Structure formats: C-alpha cells, structure tokens
Amino acid sequence: MEAYTDFAGVYDIFMDETPYREWCAYVRSVFERYRVPKELVLDLGCGTGTMTELLAGAGYDMIGIDSSQEMLNLAITKRDRSGHEILYLCQDMREFELYGTVRAVISLCDSVNYILEPEELADVFSLVNNYLDPGGIFLFDFNTDYKYREIIGDSVIAENRETCSFIWENYFHEDECINEYDVTVFVEEEDRRYRKFTETHYQRGYTLAEMKELLAEAGMEFLEAADADTKGAVTEKSERIYVTARERGKEK
C-alpha cells in the first residue's frame, strides 16, 4: 500500500508533540546566519504543511511539494484557514519541477530518508542545486543509521489517543540499512465503531559522511552539520542530524 494515504488523516494527531516551532526557529537562525532574505523558499516533502505555514507566517514566500495528495489536502485546508499564499504541488521529490529558482530549500522530518537508493538521493540533491538561486541555501535533516540500528530498529511502539490508536512495528534490514515499519491504525468512525487500516513505510539510514559525499556528487557545497537534539557537534550517537549546504555552479 502506498504510504501516507489513510494515515494522512491521523498524521497530525500522532505528530502533535513534534517540535515544529523549535525546528522553525533553527531554520530561521540558519537563514539569518547565511543571510537568506525573506523571499521564495521551497519546503520539499512538506507533508501536511505545518512547517510551511510557520515559515509563511514568518514572512517567507513558500512553495510546498509532497508526493501524497492526501497530505497536501490537509495542507491546503490549513492554508485556507490561515490565508497564507502558499503554492502546493503534488510531485515526487526525485523528479520535482519548478518554473524558476528559489532562494532556499528545506526538507525536514526525515523526508530524505524515504529515498532508499543513494543514487536517487544524489539526483534529488542535484535537482535542489539546479533550482536554487546562485549561492542559495539547502537545509535538511535525516535520521542516522545509528538511530535505526540501535534505537528503533526491531522495536514496537504503540500509542492510544481519544479517537484513534496505532501500533508501529519496526524491522531493521541490516544489509540494506533500511528500516521497515508497519503501521496499524484504529480510527473511531461517526457510528462509534472503529476502522482498521495498515500502511508499510521504508526509510534508509544514512551517515553524515554519506550525505557529504552525495552533496559533493550533486555539485553542492557542504557548509555545516549539527545534532538535531543538542544543536551541537555531531557524534557517533546522533540520531537526527541537520545539514546545511549551498548551491554551487551558477554565476551571480
């Protein structure tokens, strides 16, 4: 089953403790450090548009791209409520297209981990480089191989909410460094009966060294990396890492 179809409807419920505002503050600090003006920014793998909305509220002109129309439908509902002028496009990040360049690209909440082949991730980075203004900034995060191998691989996570519950079963495939997780969700319907559905997701764990290599292969300049939890130096036990890179190749 394709990921983020039925699950889209309960995604925000189960992600309500995600520190989006903290992430947004970090993005804005990086933008300020590298003097990114409040111009056009692409949110690649924008999901239901929570981060897109926060940056739009901070004054950036936003474009959001996601491969799930169900997730984008929720993002569009948020846009209708906020009144922000955000352009949403349903596209696969491995072959996304824009009409012109943007000042910065972000990709958060481990969206790039869904790209399972390093060669395809290099293609994504090449597209990002292509659609960035000269010297434009690319900021993304990713879950590390350490996190999948040592923290969540082969574990079961369950959560019960007022109107829905989920069981999240992880299976780590060591040889491919891919984490498979089967999500079973029970959602209360209007007649008080519960509907059950399942989705299977796959994410690949990467190392910072691999990310640097793929960025270089795509023609981008690596700038910095930080542990997403501490905002300090990356260690061998970092579970999520922020990476900042810069467009290289276009003349200003």
CA distance 195 to 208: 41
Residue 246 and residue 221 in contact, taking contact as beta carbons nearer than 8 Å: yes
DSSP 8-state symbol, 151: I
DSSP 8-state symbol, 220: P
CATH superfamily of domain region 147-204: S-adenosyl-L-methionine-dependent methyltransferases (2.20.25.110)
The residues spanned by each domain of the chain are 8-144+206-246, 147-204
Classify residue 233 by burial, with Cβ atoms within 10 Å: 0-12, 13-18, 19+. Answer: exposed
Q: How do residues 179-206 score in pLDDT, each as one tens digit?
A: 999 989 898 888 888 888 888 999 999 9
DSSP-assigned states of every residue in 51-96? HHHHHHHTT-EEEEEES-HHHHHHHHHHHHHH----EEEE--GGG-
As given in the structure block, the two tokens for residue 214 are: 């793929």
DSSP 8-state symbol, 144: B
- CA angle 233/234/235 to nearest 5° reads 115
Q: What is the mean pLDDT of residues 23-42?
A: 97
Q: What is the mean pLDDT of residues 9-36?
A: 90
Q: How do residues 87-144 score in pLDDT, each as one tens digit?
A: 999 999 999 999 999 999 999 999 999 999 999 999 999 999 999 999 999 999 999 9
SS3 174: coil
Q: Is the pLDDT of residue 159 over 50?
A: yes
Q: How do residues 59-90 score in pLDDT, each as one tens digit?
A: 999 999 999 999 999 999 999 999 999 999 99
Q: What is the mean pLDDT of residues 169-188?
A: 92
CATH architecture of 8-144+206-246: 3-Layer(aba) Sandwich (3.40)
